[in-house]
Chains A and B, each alone.
Chain A
């Protein structure tokens, strides 16, 4: 009886969460005690909530430098990150504190410390100009193709971010096709997913939603379902569902780095794109973390993360460069590589395919400074590559020693 009662209570709580899901903010924060501008060399970023972990890793590294740089980040949708760089009106290129109002949780900026922890800080009362806008999607996906004030914006590519359909771990669903997702999110239901109250979605500003939208053919601003406010909202509300009937009809979208840390509670669905004969997970299996199918193109919903900055004569501001310098080099520092891999992201140097449009055509890709072998070693514990200390240890077939392994280049 105890078990049944517990399930009943949990199910009731879940249903309440489903009904009021929209009121739960994604980036719930507590009231700050310091001002962001008082921190050492602050760099202000905003945009994708899915890239929060990645930004935190870089923030930790920069805070640990001899001349520390403080990464200040406010979690919002990807398109907000794009907008705050592209907009001509300076008043629209700022971020502001979002105190708690009514039932809506606060969303203050946070900054990252050298120990990896994060803490809230106050932005300027009139708003603080954004240094770098971060996004899961291309600017044109958010409706921006160029600035209207003649300024130049450069899109710097970060690690690759896969997006995924997720269901509660107790759900019986294992895979989904683009057509099934179209029916659910584009018409209000179909197949196992027929009740939009159980669709855990985001909104048109979400890079996650925009990227998935491109793959399933439903515009990002016309989805059926309930906006859960952010990736953490989707995650937190979806994973508490324990009732079998509810679990079977619940579905959400998340970036795979968020989903990966919740594997005990959430299941990533294998995705079968249009014209694909079988569904694939981002990883080679449900228990691996090798992102093999993202890296070779078997999995469709992925794209590079984007870091937008205004540039003059091709160069970003000094503050932006402090952050971007970690990426604008073919050879990514190994500590950042480790952090990206640990964060369930795929460094560009480990990719074997590339694309230049949102979930667009793929091409085979040979990175200029490959780290595929290193990535395999880190994610699978082994690889089929020859280890090396220098390129002289490598055969002519894989003549370059990168990160301790012989690579093609």
Chain B
């Protein structure tokens, strides 16, 4: 918990970074600060994986040691002890002994050192090493830091079967893993015989257009999937009794952004497909008879003959048509994914969550007020047109809910009990009566 609390110190730093950015008027710093703040928010929501990505991005854009600290903490939370150790040591080295949290970092480093072991991987032939699906480089790898636990070790040598092992690392272990590969026999490449006929291919324009259409289509499919996922998340949020205005806005914005991107890519795919169809079927070049449809129409076979990759006539007609129809569907993504970001417009629509829920700013809030969107501003002040970017405070049942409400414009200054007064577990010493009894 002290890690989380101390983390708020870096929030202040992030805000300082953000506020400093305009002074420098440098876009990268602003962008880095934005990623950093987003990471802090995600961290606060226990989305450590998401926070990690944001902190890494912030550091890539503007290398600030604070980001290293946060990357280390996020990895710690994800139980990536080895990586956490690596980053916290980097933070210590780069930020120096007088840096914020220096004492705490030393404690963390000490704790992490008891949660890692070392692994050496060797192979008799050049081989690529992957651990837990993460590429780690070429063997030999000597003494790499590894978190305690079970790890999947995969070693690949071209031309040989891939070898895979599960290794268990305990704290303080130093393990050697050796891999033996058999040299693959050199197979003589068959001689390619002269072709009896010049391969028939597409014109460069048609080829380029088909490649472009394919790429655009693939991009549209990818963004469409993301948009659909955001749409599903938005549905989930709208059906949740814990929905918040900010999350609804974020998910809706994400869905719209990717849906519109899909529209654009889909439309571009249609255009490129149209060009490709034109130069393939309607006005093929003299050197490329209207024949083959494909990205790689012909290639030599192992026997040295040319394989004709041309599809059947039906396929040649159906494929472009299908691609164009599919692209058209993608181009209409934002229409097909036209989901509202509002959870309610009347109190009655919130009854499904319970009698105490009311519609506040088009969000069902437990114990809220107003029947049609009575606004509650970021500072809690009520009334007026707060605007769509105003956040909605979460329901509260105890003082800690008020204390730690994130919906505020106020700055905060954390007091780290652990580092400042040595109270790390909340336990307080027994009170001592003053010499005069305290009664005055």
Residue numbers of A with Cβ under 8 A of B are 22, 174-177, 179-180, 182-183, 186-188, 190-192, 196, 203-204, 217-219, 221-224, 227, 270, 272-273, 275-281, 283-285, 290, 292-293, 295-298, 300, 350, 352-353, 361-362, 364, 366, 370, 372-373, 375-376, 383-386, 395-398, 405-408
| Smallest CB separation, A95 vs chain B (Å) | 20
Judge whether A384 and B385 touch: CB under 8 Å: yes
B399's partner among A283, A362, A375, A405 (CB-CB below 8 A) is A362
B415's partner among A175, A373, A383 (CB-CB below 8 A) is A175
| Smallest CB separation, A114 vs chain B (Å) | 34
Instruction: Decide yes or no whether B283 CB sits under 8 A from chain A.
Output: no
| Smallest CB separation, B359 vs chain A (Å) | 10
| Smallest CB separation, B100 vs chain A (Å) | 13
Judge whether A179 and B402 touch: CB under 8 Å: no
A174's partner among B371, B413, B430 (CB-CB below 8 A) is B413
21 contacts between A and B (CB under 8 A): A175-B413, A175-B415, A180-B415, A180-B417, A183-B423, A186-B432, A204-B438, A222-B434, A224-B438, A276-B403, A277-B403, A353-B402, A373-B384, A383-B384, A397-B372, A398-B375, A398-B384, A398-B385, A407-B382, A408-B374, A408-B382
B370's partner among A186, A295, A397 (CB-CB below 8 A) is A397
| Smallest CB separation, A181 vs chain B (Å) | 10
Cα-based distance from A277 to B414 in the complex (angstroms): 7
User: Known contacts A191-B421, A297-B405, A366-B369: does B431 contact A352 (CB below 8 Å)?
Assistant: no
Interface residues of B, CB < 8 Å — how many? 56
Judge whether B411 and A180 touch: CB under 8 Å: no
Cα-based distance from A407 to B374 in the complex (angstroms): 9
A298's partner among B11, B381, B403, B423 (CB-CB below 8 A) is B403
Interface residues of chain B: helix, strand, loop or mixed (majority): loop
Judge whether B408 and A292 touch: CB under 8 Å: yes
| Smallest CB separation, A349 vs chain B (Å) | 11
Judge whether B410 and A285 touch: CB under 8 Å: yes
User: Known contacts A227-B440, A396-B372: does B381 contact A295 (CB below 8 Å)?
Assistant: yes
Residue interface bits B348-381, CB-to-A below 8 A is 1, else 0 = 0000000000000000000101111111010111
Collect the chain B residues with CB atoms within 8 Å of residue A179's CB: 417, 421, 423, 426, 428
| Smallest CB separation, A224 vs chain B (Å) | 5
A175's partner among B370, B384, B414, B438 (CB-CB below 8 A) is B414
User: Known contacts A175-B414, A183-B429, A190-B421: does B403 contact A275 (CB below 8 Å)?
Assistant: yes
Collect the chain A residues with CB atoms within 8 Å of residue B381's CB: 295, 350, 352, 372-373, 375-376, 383-385
Judge whether B410 and A366 touch: CB under 8 Å: no
B404's partner among A276, A370, A375, A384 (CB-CB below 8 A) is A276
Instruction: Decide yes or no whether B190 CB sits under 8 A from chain A.
Output: no
Residue interface bits B313-329, CB-to-A below 8 A is 1, else 0 = 00000000000000000
Residue interface bits B385-429, CB-to-A below 8 A is 1, else 0 = 111001001001011101111001111111101001101001011
Instruction: Decide yes or no whether B383 CB sits under 8 A from chain A.
Output: yes
Collect the chain B residues with CB atoms within 8 Å of residue A224's CB: 432, 434, 438
User: Known contacts A270-B413, A279-B415, A297-B399: does B440 contact A203 (CB below 8 Å)?
Assistant: yes
Collect the chain A residues with CB atoms within 8 Å of residue B439's CB: 204, 221-222
Judge whether B420 and A192 touch: CB under 8 Å: yes
| Smallest CB separation, B418 vs chain A (Å) | 10
Cα-based distance from A38 to B293 in the complex (angstroms): 111
10 cross-chain pairs, A with B, having the tightest CB-CB distances, nearest first:
A385-B384, A297-B402, A296-B380, A222-B438, A278-B412, A407-B383, A276-B403, A270-B413, A284-B410, A177-B415
Q: Which A residue sits closest to B403, measured CB to CB?
A: A276
Cα-based distance from A398 to B5 in the complex (angstroms): 38
Instruction: Decide yes or no whether B110 CB sits under 8 A from chain A.
Output: no
Collect the chain B residues with CB atoms within 8 Å of residue A227's CB: 440
Instruction: Decide yes or no whether B194 CB sits under 8 A from chain A.
Output: no
Cα-based distance from A384 to B380 in the complex (angstroms): 11
Judge whether A292 and B421 touch: CB under 8 Å: no
Cα-based distance from A352 to B437 in the complex (angstroms): 39
Cα-based distance from A21 to B432 in the complex (angstroms): 23
Judge whether A406 and B384 touch: CB under 8 Å: yes
Cα-based distance from A361 to B398 in the complex (angstroms): 7
Q: Which A residue sits closest to B402, measured CB to CB?
A: A297
Instruction: Decide yes or no whether B181 CB sits under 8 A from chain A.
Output: no
Instruction: Decide yes or no whether B335 CB sits under 8 A from chain A.
Output: no
Instruction: Decide yes or no whether B281 CB sits under 8 A from chain A.
Output: no
Judge whether B434 and A177 touch: CB under 8 Å: no
A364's partner among B370, B385, B396 (CB-CB below 8 A) is B396
Collect the chain A residues with CB atoms within 8 Å of residue B411's CB: 284-285
Judge whether B410 and A298 touch: CB under 8 Å: yes
B382's partner among A196, A279, A386, A398 (CB-CB below 8 A) is A398
Judge whether A298 and B409 touch: CB under 8 Å: no
